[in-house]
């Protein structure tokens, strides 16, 4: 219970995410102090608090006054741009903090930075949490999914607040203590990587339906609206349906057609792929989504290439057969669902691998549960993912869960038809293709990696293992091949 006149918690950093989270906290009945280096942001937040119901929020322009307005032991959430601004904010606030106080970084931060900062402030007797917050501006205001990591003691400082502020689903609030160190930031990073994959797969479904099936934006709106009533029900499918229905206020037609096909990013997808490479975890769907964003950035080159290849008779879309629109829509739905399962499986495998490396003792089922509401990748089938981990917390891959395995097999025919069709007409579906290749590689007892290993041993004496004997072996491939050539020339 906060001392009379003092706030229960503080928040520094009042861009839209910070403002919305502060208002959410205040609306849930927790008096909050807010601070920002720019005074106008403080004023703006105070005005919003008054307008949205005279919420218990106080604004401060001086860091010392801000810190001293919070009841001890103090808990302060920082929501500023990742990197140097976080370090600067910590330096500013920690000058006035006392042993036992707690700093919570709510941004998209690299997990090792969180661990470094935790050690830094520990020397001053302070606690530190890295807490991923997902859900965008609306989620921050109405209820996000939150992924706090650090010491359990530090989490207890804010548990009563975050369990009320988070999105609420049928089996509890969308927040849980993730684990020690940078576990919270790492899980949020992979969440964003899965988000990259999800968005790419949806964009590919759109491309096939529009470019091959000839669906109008109205038909796409109706199709995605219908999909959102079934197995694909999710936030991203819902907002995609909405997008197709928005008219251009500055011209004719729908706005989506006027948007430049060039995608931005903030780095978490790249971090996810880099970490996967470090841990030797295959995440081809997420990697394909990252490559697709890189390629989208080459707009001028792509325009020039389209013109150059058109001279050789290769247009945007190659010759195609008549399309059964109804069948195509059903096939794309199934292909999208199967591809999504692969993408989520890759992300969960990466989280598990990092958890094992760092001894974080992560609960994959509980992580799936807190993604059911508030966050960008919230989806109906996260219930199914949680159930899969509840049945077997040590399952090697979601693809091995009996329910998911059965669904993959039932949808593979449609999945293959969509990818084959796309290849045939010259449309790239890197996410769906990568997911299908992942599925096909994972389910095969024997891959052509035996040849790769033979090549490595040939040029680099890297040795190889045999299927019939234990141990490492090396063959003098060059000498043997030269002898064989001499014999064949006799």
Mean pLDDT of the chain: 94
* Total domains present in the chain: 3
CA gap 313, 464 in Å, rounded: 47
| DSSP letter (8 states) at residue 248 | P
Does residue 136 have a known ligand-binding role?
A: yes
What is residue 207's predicted lDDT score, i.e. its pLDDT?
97
Instruction: Please report, for the domain that includes residue 54, its CATH number.
Output: 3.40.50.720
The residue among 177, 198, 218 that closes a domain is: 177
For residues 16 and 142, state if they share a domain: yes
pLDDT, one tens digit per residue, over 362-412 is: 999 999 999 999 999 988 899 999 999 999 999 999 999 999 999 999 999
Report if residue 183 sits inside a domain: no
Report if residue 377 sits inside a domain: yes
For residues 246 and 168, state if they share a domain: no
For residues 306 and 376, state if they share a domain: yes
User: If you average pLDDT over residues 345-368, what whole number do you get?
Assistant: 96
Which has more confidence, 55 or 82?
A: 55
For 317, the token pair is 């879309």
Does residue 37 have a known ligand-binding role?
A: yes
Kindly tell me if the per-residue pLDDT of 2 is higher than 60: no
Q: Indicate which residues carry an active-site annotation.
A: 188, 195
Does residue 60 have a known ligand-binding role?
A: no
Instruction: Please report, for the domain that includes residue 452, its CATH number.
Output: 1.20.5.320
Does residue 80 have a known ligand-binding role?
A: yes
Which has more confidence, 145 or 264?
A: 145
pLDDT, one tens digit per residue, over 280-316 is: 999 999 999 999 999 999 999 999 999 999 888 887 7
Report if residue 380 sits inside a domain: yes
CA gap 378, 143 in Å, rounded: 12
What is residue 447's predicted lDDT score, i.e. its pLDDT?
96
User: If you average pLDDT over residues 321-342, what whole number do you get?
Assistant: 94
pLDDT, one tens digit per residue, over 146-186 is: 999 999 999 999 999 999 999 999 999 999 999 999 999 99
Residue 50's domain comprises 9-177
For residues 324 and 367, state if they share a domain: yes
What is residue 4's predicted lDDT score, i.e. its pLDDT?
64
**pLDDT above 70 as % of the chain:** 99
For residues 430 and 453, state if they share a domain: no
- CA angle centred on 210, ends 206 and 211, rounded to 5°: 115
CA gap 56, 184 in Å, rounded: 28
Report if residue 301 sits inside a domain: yes
For residues 330 and 200, state if they share a domain: yes
Closest-CA residue to 105 (of 93, 116, 92, 90): 90
Q: How far apart are the first and last CA of the chain?
A: 95
What is residue 460's predicted lDDT score, i.e. its pLDDT?
95
Report if residue 124 sits inside a domain: yes
Report if residue 142 sits inside a domain: yes
Does residue 15 have a known ligand-binding role?
A: yes
What is residue 265's predicted lDDT score, i.e. its pLDDT?
76
Kindly tell me if the per-residue pLDDT of 27 is higher than 90: yes
pLDDT, one tens digit per residue, over 175-215 is: 999 999 999 999 999 999 999 999 999 999 999 999 999 99
pLDDT, one tens digit per residue, over 89-106 is: 999 999 999 999 999 999
For residues 403 and 301, state if they share a domain: yes
What is residue 3's predicted lDDT score, i.e. its pLDDT?
57
What is residue 5's predicted lDDT score, i.e. its pLDDT?
82
For residues 373 and 457, state if they share a domain: no
For residues 393 and 344, state if they share a domain: yes
**pLDDT above 90 as % of the chain:** 89
Give Cα 404 distance to the centre of its chain: 21
Report if residue 157 sits inside a domain: yes
What is residue 1's predicted lDDT score, i.e. its pLDDT?
44
Lowest model confidence (mean pLDDT) among 4-8, 239-243, 485-489: 485-489
Report if residue 182 sits inside a domain: no
For residues 401 and 330, state if they share a domain: yes
For 315, the token pair is 């247009």
CA gap 280, 354 in Å, rounded: 11
For residues 161 and 192, state if they share a domain: no
Does residue 134 have a known ligand-binding role?
A: yes
pTM given for the model: 0.92
Kindly tell me if the per-residue pLDDT of 269 is higher than 60: yes
Does residue 245 have a known ligand-binding role?
A: no
For residues 341 and 221, state if they share a domain: yes
Which segments within 368-472 are labelled E, that is strand?
none
Q: How confident is the model at residue 235 (pLDDT cuts 50, 70, 90)?
A: very high
Q: How many CB atoms lie within 10 A of CB 397?
A: 16
């Amino acid at each position: 219970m906060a001392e009379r006149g003092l706030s229960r918690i503080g928040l520094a950093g009042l861009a839209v995410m910070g403002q919305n989270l502060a208002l959410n906290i205040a609306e849930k009945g927790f008096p909050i102090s807010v601070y920002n280096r720019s005074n106008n942001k403080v004023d703006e937040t105070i005005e919003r608090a008054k307008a949205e119901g005279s919420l218990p929020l106080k604004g401060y322009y001086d860091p010392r006054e801000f810190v001293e307005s919070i009841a001890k032991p103090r808990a302060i959430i920082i929501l500023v741009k990742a990197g140097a601004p976080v370090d600067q904010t910590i330096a500013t606030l920690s000058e006035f903090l006392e042993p036992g106080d707690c700093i919570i970084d709510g941004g998209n931060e690299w997990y090792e930075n969180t661990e470094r900062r935790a050690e830094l402030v520990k020397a001053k007797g302070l606690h530190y949490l890295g807490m991923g917050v997902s859900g965008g501006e609306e989620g921050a205001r109405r209820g996000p999914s939150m992924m706090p990591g650090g010491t359990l003691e530090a989490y207890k400082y804010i548990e009563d607040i975050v369990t009320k502020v988070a999105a609420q689903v049928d089996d509890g609030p969308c927040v849980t203590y993730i684990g020690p160190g940078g576990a919270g930031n790492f899980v949020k990073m992979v969440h964003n990587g899965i988000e990259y994959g999800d968005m790419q797969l949806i964009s590919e479904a759109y491309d096939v339906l529009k470019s091959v099936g000839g669906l109008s934006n109205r038909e796409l709106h109706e199709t995605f609206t219908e999909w959102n009533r079934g197995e694909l029900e999710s936030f991203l499918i819902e907002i995609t349906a909405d997008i197709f229905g928005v008219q251009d206020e500055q011209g004719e037609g729908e706005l989506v057609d006027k948007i430049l096909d060039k995608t931005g990013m903030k780095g978490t997808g790249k971090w996810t792929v880099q970490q996967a490479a470090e841990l030797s975890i295959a995440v081809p769907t997420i990697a394909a989504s990252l490559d697709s964003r890189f390629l989208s950035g080459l707009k001028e080159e792509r325009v020039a290439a389209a013109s150059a290849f058109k001279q050789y008779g290769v247009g945007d879309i190659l010759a195609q057969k008549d399309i059964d629109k109804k069948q195509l829509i059903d096939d794309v739905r199934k292909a999208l669902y199967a591809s999504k399962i692969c993408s989520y499986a890759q992300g969960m495998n990466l989280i598990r691998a990092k958890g094992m490396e760092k001894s974080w003792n992560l609960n994959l089922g509980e992580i799936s549960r807190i993604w059911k509401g508030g966050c960008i990748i919230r989806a109906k089938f996260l219930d199914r993912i949680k159930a899969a981990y509840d049945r077997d917390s040590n399952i090697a891959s979601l693809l091995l869960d009996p329910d998911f395995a059965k669904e993959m097999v039932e949808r593979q025919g449609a999945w293959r038809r969509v990818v084959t069709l796309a290849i045939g007409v010259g449309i790239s579906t890197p996410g769906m293709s990568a997911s299908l290749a992942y599925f096909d590689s994972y389910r095969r007892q024997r891959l052509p990696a035996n040849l790769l290993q033979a090549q490595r041993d040939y040029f680099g004496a890297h040795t190889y293992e045999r299927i019939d004997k234990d141990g490492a072996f090396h063959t003098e491939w060059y000498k043997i091949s030269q002898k064989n050539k001499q014999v064949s020339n006799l």
